[in-house]
Structure 1
Amino acid sequence: MKRILIADGNIPADRAVFTRFNGCAPSGMFDQLLRTGWSNIETEILYPTDADAAASLPLEAYDGILITGSNSNIYKREPGTLRQIEFAREAFRSGTPMFGVCWGLQLATVALGGDVEPSRSENCRCEAPFGEAITLVQDDTGCIHPMHKDRAKVFDAFAFHSDQVSRLPPNSTITASNRNFIQAAEIRSEKSVFWGVQYHPELSGAGMAGFLRGSINELYQAGRYHSLEEIEAAAAAMESFAHAVPIAEAHSRHFEKIDPARFEFRPLELINWVEKLVIGADNDR
């Protein structure tokens, strides 16, 4: 069996909000995906923001470490955030393959000396519910990164963030971006390799609906939507957004900036990380 440690990036109050609107915290979503997707994977959930958090095993004993998204802002350097930064540094020293989504990418960036700031994009202070026209970066040979295997060259994905990676640490490679943000990267330390994305490949339409409803006041105050009713309408539209399900005319305005035909409902980056670096890494460590 392979063992994956899931590090939830949220403080207890935010975990409670996610549980109310999504049925579980982000760590629970990944736990379900991993347990249903692979019969040979065991999971453990850790809350490194909590003062008393401790993994049951040394970090080098796990086959993978996964860092979820979070409602926190890393540049505020709150006590729980500082604990998470130190956890990420320990993870990089462990030699265990790492994967992160949204906050996970931001945390890995800061842990190794990069920078994260509030969004500076004039076009997009808050990227939600979609990351639009994300484009894969080809290397000198024309190949894309293995994290993005089976992705279209340009695609749309669920997204939910108001902060951005503004400077990656040394030994990093941007693997995807759009006109506003770095959208994916590989970060290497002396021992560990980290794959991370700013968007949310793990989410379903219902999951994004929960994200919107859980942050309804924050989204309105940030000016992302003009009214609370508009946010609820967007959440209702997301709830019915699924593979091979036609978009209702009443919901079509919420999808005008994306191409549903290039939307991928499988968590491809998670799948590729598990298959390549967790299951496929038997002799590499």
Structure 2
Amino acid sequence: MFNRRISSDSANASSSVTKGQDELGPCILPLRRSPLDKMLRRVAACSLTRRLHVSKPKLLHTSASDEEIRYLVIDGYVKPGRDVLEAGGATTAGQLYADMLVKATERSVGRSAQYDLIYPADPGFVAPDLSKYHGVGWSGSSLAVHECEDPSVVQMMDLARQSFAHGVPQFGSCFGLQLAVATAGGVVQKNKHGKELGVARKIRLNGAGRAHPMYEGKPPVFDAFSSHKDEVRVIQPGGLMLASNTFTTVQSAAIRYLKGEFWGLQYHPEYDLHEMARLLYCRREMNTTLGFFTDVEKSDSFVDLLEELAVDPTREDLAWQIGYDKDVLDEDLRTCEVKNFVKHLVMPYYMRCREQPGDKEEKSVQDISCQQEVA
């Protein structure tokens, strides 16, 4: 597994032994030796053999206790949008994503994780050093990817392109998927059916999805929390559509571009009942105008119902009224795709990046290979 090295002392010892034998020649008879002398010589020979053959590891893997997995988490909202969420009692999108990735890492590979949360939609954003991270998470956003002249969208697309070029694994929901597709040359447009809100029903894996590692342990048909009005229309060559439903053509995709890979979902595994309730509350007037509720009071009643079920998920009567099943109520099932992302993309990348070379000259070479290889 490791490259083997022979120390200079061992090499010299080997050289002197060979030289002595050559000088004696085959005509010199061996001297008689006592049993004790023979034993001492055997011990010395074993010691020399070990010195000659025991390898000095050239590359070492750092354990999780020495170096945690680190994520770069992107909050796709502009500050006014984040303020609206916080005012309505919702967790900001980036924080939701960070919490999900940390928990998924623990549950998937038993490792602890850290993260840096950034806001590239804000003015004056400067991209961080991507070599510090083993995975990138992209949250949703109230922005539209197809509004490609929006400075916030431009800044985030630049960051997505840098991440692809660097080769760090990426995972994203909703806006995150759409941004990755557009960055790689695909097309995002408004959904002709309007807004898919609350729960996306009967998402179905296609053949590629059923075979893809992102969906290990996931049922072939499932529901998922959703809130979007745009959708992916065209995936560029090298991208793979994995799931769809009757409302949205592309519910998930795997995107390979430049040196990187992005696993993306149109739905939201980071939401739970409480967070979906708060999101609906924050957009109660908009959703009423769109016809999801006859009035704001009805919207508030539905939010209260979600909150009640969030407090006690065993309430089958409430789950029946809303029509929610374990697809969205069971956290392990709901976040299956995220755990698989950690297992199949982040962890292999992490292990490569943690290989520490034996000297400074090799470090730059190892850093480059870490950036270029993609699981």
TM-score by length of 1: 0.89
Q: In the alignment, what sits opposite 1:154?
A: 221
The residue that corresponds to 1:80 in the other structure is 152
User: In 1, are the aligned partners of 2:97 and 2:270 still within 8 Å (CA)?
Assistant: yes
Residue of structure 1 equivalent to 2:348: 280
> How many matched pairs?
275
Partner Cα separation in structure 2 for residue 8 and residue 155 of structure 1: 27
Conserved? CA contact 1:208–1:239, under 8 Å: no
**Residues of 2 paired with 1:94 and 1:179: CA distance?**
36
Q: AA paired with 2:203?
A: I
Matched, 1:128 2:197: yes
Matched with 1:207 is: 275
Whether 1:7 and 2:78 are equivalent positions in the alignment is no
The match for 1:110 is 182
What's 2:85 paired with? Answer: 18
1:93 aligns with 2:199: no
1:39-58 matches, cutoff 5 A: 39-56=111-128, 58=129
Q: Which consecutive unaligned segments of at least 5 residues does structure 2 have?
A: 1-67, 353-369
Amino acid at match of 2:137: L
Q: Structure 1 CA distance, aligned partners of 2:326 and 2:274?
A: 19
Q: Report the alpha carbon displacement of residue 71 of structure 1 after superposing the two structures with TM.
A: 1.1
Equivalent position SS for 1:159: strand
Computing the radius of gyration from Cα coordinates, the structure with the larger value is 2
Q: Secondary structure at the match of 1:130?
A: strand
Aligned to 1:229: 297
Residue 184 (structure 1) aligns with: 252
2:207 equivalent to 1:138: yes
Superposition TM-score, scaled by structure 2 size: 0.69
Partner Cα distance (2:222, 2:309) in 1 = 16
Kindly indicate whether the alpha-carbon contact (under 8 Å) linking 2:90 and 2:275 is maintained by their aligned counterparts in 1.
no
In the alignment, which residue of structure 1 is the partner of 2:139?
Answer: 68
Distance 1:67 1:262, change over 3 A: closer
Structure in which a larger fraction of residues adopt helix: 2
Alpha-carbon distance, 1:230 to partner:
2.1
Does the Cα contact within 8 Å between 1:136 and 1:144 map onto a contact in 2?
A: no
> 1:82 Cα shift?
1.4
**2:322 corresponding residue in structure 1:** 254
Aligned residue among 287, 302, 317 for 1:219: 287
Unpaired runs of at least 5, structure 1: none
Deviates more, 1:30-39 or 1:75-84: 30-39
Distance 1:208 1:143, change over 3 A: closer
User: For residues 117 and 61 of structure 1, what CA distance do their matches in structure 2 show?
Assistant: 34
* Residues 148-207 of structure 1 deviation map (CA, whole Å, 9 limit, x = unaligned): 121111111111111111111221111111112111100001200000000111111001
In structure 2, the partner of 1:35 is 102
Q: What is the rounded CA distance, in whole Å, between the counterparts of 2:189 and 2:140 in structure 1?
A: 16
Q: Which residue of 1 aligns with 2:26?
A: none
Greater alpha carbon shift after TM alignment, 234-243 vs 219-228: 234-243
The CA deviation at 1:20 is: 2.2
Which segment drifts farther, 142-151 or 237-246?
237-246
Whichever residue aligns with residue 265 of structure 1, its letter is: E
Q: Matches of 2:235 and 2:289 in 1, distance apart? A: 29
Cα 1:244–1:236 change in 2 (3 A) is: closer
Match of 1:164 in 2: 231
Distance 1:3 1:55, change over 3 A: farther
What CA distance in whole angstroms lies between the structure 1 residues aligned with 2:146 and 2:116? 28
The CA distance in 1 between the partners of 2:199 and 2:131, in whole Å, is 35
What is the rounded CA distance, in whole Å, between the counterparts of 2:84 and 2:218 in structure 1? 32
